[in-house]
A and B are shown apart, each in its own frame.
Chain A
Amino acid sequence: MRTKCCLLALAFMAAMSATPAAAGDREFHEIVERLSSAYQKKPMPFMGLVSFAAHFAQPEGVSGIKMAIFDDVDPALVPDPADFDAFMQRVAGSEYCPMVRVRSNRDGEQTYIYVREAKSGYEMLLLTLEPSEAVVMKMHLNPKAMEGWVNDPVDHGKNWSHRDSE
């Protein structure tokens, strides 16, 4: 009975955290929708649960992680970089400041990091596209956590998206 209650509570929290389109999440959802359409598939299920679990495992200074992972995608369906640049600028550019853009034609990887000021810190939108997977993340960073991102934004962006998709 107790286990059942716990599972129900977890499921409820997962459902709550997966509830779409809070006002500040517009950009996150638009990006996920665009990728869903490009890849012709939905993100991995139970991402609400993963986000909820990440709540306990997240590094100091990071909170409110929202995540969508597309795995086993068809590399032929990866969005055209130039089109996607324009799309990202249109969707995130008005609210967020572009911080890092990495494009590796060698590895077929693209990374976008957008940041905006938020209550007591920063809100970061992070997107990585790889030939067979894509990760979209939104998170809140306190000033201490932001320091690392400012200090070494490129490596931070690469490491974060890899760690969280594993």
Chain B
Amino acid sequence: MNLKFKRIAEVLAAASVVMLWAALPAWAQNPKLNLGNLSKLADKADEVVDVTLDGPTLKFAQKFIESDEDDKDDAEALKIIRGLTGVYVKSFEFDKPEQYSDADVDAIREQLKAPGWSKLVDVHSKKDHELDEIYIMTDPSGKNLGLAVISAEQDELTVVNIVGPIDVNHLADLQGKLGIPGDLDLKGDKGGHHAH
């Protein structure tokens, strides 16, 4: 009898492990990045911009725009922000080059190796010491879950993290909006190559 119970317990335990394993990819697909490691750059930076649009702020903006959908501009804006749950921007301008390290950028890139993330744009200019990388997170059905932009120059570093189903076609429309700097190369126009 005891053996039978032991066997059932073993089967249940194995089933639990399998269920947890199956649920893991969805559970692990969190497009919100931890940008905390960049905070230490604030002391070295000439100018720091830190924008957080999430929770009630963003929800309320969506509700308002929905109520005025006849307005063409608002309709465009709605296309962009519909369903977003967070927009996070951290931007640092330095008065001299090399104030941030590769390790600072790599700490963000490490998070973008998590399941679901893929690189959409990868522009590197060795000559100008510039890079623009755009990553998108999708779920197994191909639905966009979020987006990340890393834009770096010798004396500038900007990271943008958008959480929610962002339409990539409207990405460039976000420049200069929602606290996202207007001079970001969200189309990857500086040359280099696009990763797909």
Contacts and interface: CB of A to CB of B under 8 A. Distances in A.
A141 B79 CA distance: 24
Contacts of B56: 97, 115-117
A29 interface: no
Contact of B52 (A97, A105, A106, A122): A97
B55 interface: yes
Contacts of B122: none
Interface in A114-166: 115-117, 122, 143-144, 146-147, 150-154
A104 B47 contact: yes
A26 interface: no
Contacts of A81: 42
Interface residues of B toward A: which range?
Answer: 20 to 34
Given A81-B42, A103-B42, A153-B179, A143 B60 contact: yes
A153 to B, nearest CB: 5
B177 interface: yes
B46 A106 contact: yes
B53 A154 contact: no
Instruction: Select the residue from B46, B57, B65 with max chain A CB neighbours within 10 A.
Output: B57
A89 to B, nearest CB: 12
A105 B46 contact: yes
Contacts of B65: 147
B51 A152 contact: no
A152 B179 contact: yes
B49 interface: yes
A64 interface: no
Given A117-B60, A143-B60, A146-B64, A104 B54 contact: no
Interface of B: 42-43, 45-58, 60-61, 63-65, 77, 95, 176-179
11 contacts: A99-B57, A101-B51, A102-B47, A102-B49, A103-B48, A106-B46, A106-B47, A117-B60, A143-B64, A150-B53, A154-B179
